[in-house]
Amino acid sequence: MTIDPEAEYYAVFKTEKGDIRIKLFAAEAPVTVNNFVFLARDGFYNNTHFHRVLENFMAQGGDPTNSGAGGPGYQFQDEIVASLQFDRAGLLAMANAGPNTNGSQFFITFAETPWLNGNHTIFGEVVEGMEVLFSISLRDPRAAASPGDLLETVEIEEGE
């Protein structure tokens, strides 16, 4: 599957607390958006959890094991775009373990996080549902026994 980088794509995160609608940056990060769209359409994110949610920082998900160590079984390169900066809340980016180690895990920022600039591919922005994002329960995976808030599914929409 290959996306059309000229088309508009939206991801709707259906959570137990409501929906978060995110515009994906297909033109700026086509490989990352293609990967995310493929995984979402394949049901990879269904019934996973926000396994790491840190106050004033971000909510992280996309791990099928809900441990923080899982992924799709492959990695791909970063798509760092200088004009996309971690200068506001609501940015969707790839979580990674270092340069060019992207897989399936993502995070959405709760605030400006400039120390992440140049280290994580930004590939979308929340356009609806910021109140849902801010309602996701905080969870430090090193201290929490519960699995974290449920991400029921990610639906992909094309067009406006």
Q: Phi, psi at residue 17, to the nearest 5°? A: -105, 0
Report residues of the chain scoring pLDDT below 50: none
Domain ranges of the chain: 9-158
**What is residue 67's predicted lDDT score, i.e. its pLDDT?**
81
pLDDT number for residue 26: 97
**Single-letter residue type at 11:** A
First-to-last C-alpha distance (Å) of the chain:
21
**Which of 73, 5, 72 is CA-nearest to residue 42?**
72
CA 137/CA 153 separation, integer angstroms: 18
Q: Give the pLDDT of residue 148.
A: 83
Q: Note the pTM of the prediction, 2 decimals.
A: 0.95
Question: What are the start-end ranges of the H helices in the chain?
Answer: 30-41, 130-135
Domain 9-158 matching CATH 3.90.550.10: the answer reads no
Residues designated as active site: 52, 57, 60, 96, 107, 116, 120
DSSP codes, 59-84 = EEE--TTSSSS--SS--B-----TT-
